[in-house]
Each structure stands twice: as C-alpha cells, then as structure tokens.
Amino acid sequence: MSDHDTPRAGQAWDAAGYVHHASFVAERGSDIFAALAPVPGEAILDIGCGDGALTAKIAAEGAAVTGLEPDPSMAAAARARGLEVLEQDARTPFGNSRFDAVFSNAALHWIRDPEPALANAFAALKPGGRFVAEQGGFGNVAAIRIALEAALGAKGLGPAAEPWDFPTPAVQAARLERAGFRVLQIGLVPRPTPLPTGWEGWLATFGAPFLGELSDAARRAVVADCAARLSVLTDETGTAHADYMRLRFSAVRP
C-alpha cells in the first residue's frame, strides 16, 4: 500500500465542537428540507442525523422522525433534543417498508461504498415513498483538497486515501436506479459557504482523515500553510468561503 492508499485517521465527531465550527451545515439545509416538505403524521428516517438540528425541524412539522447516526457523541446530542435515534451505520439495514420518506443532509458523502446504504433506503421505504437528499457532489471542496495536499506535500507527506464520495449526478442516478429507485430530480448546485471559524475551524472539524495522525506541531504548520494557500477564497473581511458543491436528488420507490 502506498501513502496514497492509507487513511491517516478516521473521522471522529465531537458534538460540541461541531456546533461551534459547523452549525452552518444544518442551517444551510433549508433547501433540501423544503424539497422534503414533511407532512404531519408521516414516518421519516433521517440518515446521518448528526446532532439532530435538522431532524428536530422535521419533527416540528409534525412528522414522526427517526434519526440514524453511528457516532455516539452525535447520537447523544440528537437524543438530548428528544429525538429517537438508531445508533448505527446506514450500510446496516434499518427497516422494511416502514417509512414514507428517507431524508439525508450532508451525510451520504461519508459513505465510500454507498450502494448498500441506497439499497437499505429503498427497502426501508413504503412503496411510493420518497428519498430526498443532499450531499457533497463532484468537485466538492476541490480547492481545499488541492491546498491541503500541497501543504502536506511541502512537509514531505503524501496525500491520504480519499475519505469522501462526491459523485457526479450521472453516477449517483445510476446507483439509485440499480437500487430500484425512479429518480425524479438530480443535479449539482454550487454553494460557496462562509465559514464561521475560518479554515482552521473547518480543518479541525473535517480534516482528520488528512491531519489526524500528525503531531500537534506538524498539524499546526500544515493548517497554517493550507489557510495561506486558500487566501484566494478569503474575502476582504477575512471570511473564508468553502467551495462547496452540493448534489441534490429526489427519488421514489415505485
């Protein structure tokens, strides 16, 4: 295995840190929430519900929502909101013909082999049920990746293994169809995203697959170099803008 094939660390979550650095993830979920259009009384599953910020909005519409979240810290934060949470990976089955809708925001890209998760979403839906999701799509955070790899390379560190799945609409539509879905809508939406705690906050929250096993000093140096390389995406007020590219889709179980 070359350096390129070796993840430096897995992604670990800390619910308090996530709220501080990344509350924009749920706040920016309003378009996909609108596409879900939850109806009172519907049974809805939220894949990768995180700390439940958006899941609670679904519940507030009167739906009977269940979160699915494998990380214990995030699952506990979601339960603290009074939400029901299945603490498991989406690649493990989560029900048969139980839900009117399956929803997901900013979670599917963490699943490198998504086909089992898509098959589980299909199985968990009632016939006629919908799957509405947003995730990172093709080209997502490309500038951050290039800057990070250049900063790692300058330290003599090779790139880590790809931790994310950012598919094109064609690739994700084909996967959904193989799982049995009829795809109603799918497309990429560029969404430059101001970062409340800058490049440092973003890398501290999401950078573990690249930075996780470095010493503190090496990590600080790589983060500072990466932030300098990203100055072209830092505006006149000093606000960093992540080059997010969202993939949104809506599909139905026939």
Binding site for ligand BEZ (CB under 6 A): 106, 109, 136, 140-141, 164, 206, 244
Contact call for residues 242 and 145 (beta carbons, < 8 A)? no
Please report, as a single letter, which amino acid is at residue 150. Answer: A
Q: Which are the contacts of 9, defined by CB distance < 8 A and separation ≥ 6?
A: 208, 209, 211, 212, 213
Q: Which is nearer to ligand BEZ, 181 or 244 (CB)?
A: 244
Q: Which is nearer to ligand BEZ, 63 or 152 (CB)?
A: 152
Q: Which is nearer to ligand BEZ, 44 or 111 (CB)?
A: 111
Please report, as a single letter, which amino acid is at residue 77. Answer: A
- Minimum distance between the CB of residue 149 and ligand BEZ, rounded to whole angstroms? 14
Residue 70, Cβ density class (10 Å: 0-12 exposed, 13-18 middle, ≥19 buried): middle
- Minimum distance between the CB of residue 135 and ligand BEZ, rounded to whole angstroms? 7
Q: Which is nearer to ligand BEZ, 52 or 136 (CB)?
A: 136
- Minimum distance between the CB of residue 128 and ligand BEZ, rounded to whole angstroms? 29
- Minimum distance between the CB of residue 242 and ligand BEZ, rounded to whole angstroms? 8
Beta-sheet strand order (sheet of 241-252):
84-86, 64-68, 43-47, 99-105, 125-136, 241-252, 182-194
Residue 190, Cβ density class (10 Å: 0-12 exposed, 13-18 middle, ≥19 buried): exposed
Residue whose CB is nearest to ligand BEZ in the complex, by number = 136
> Which among 3, 2, 12 is positioned nearest to 212, based on CA atoms?
12
Q: Which is nearer to ligand BEZ, 248 or 253 (CB)?
A: 248
- Minimum distance between the CB of residue 28 and ligand BEZ, rounded to whole angstroms? 9
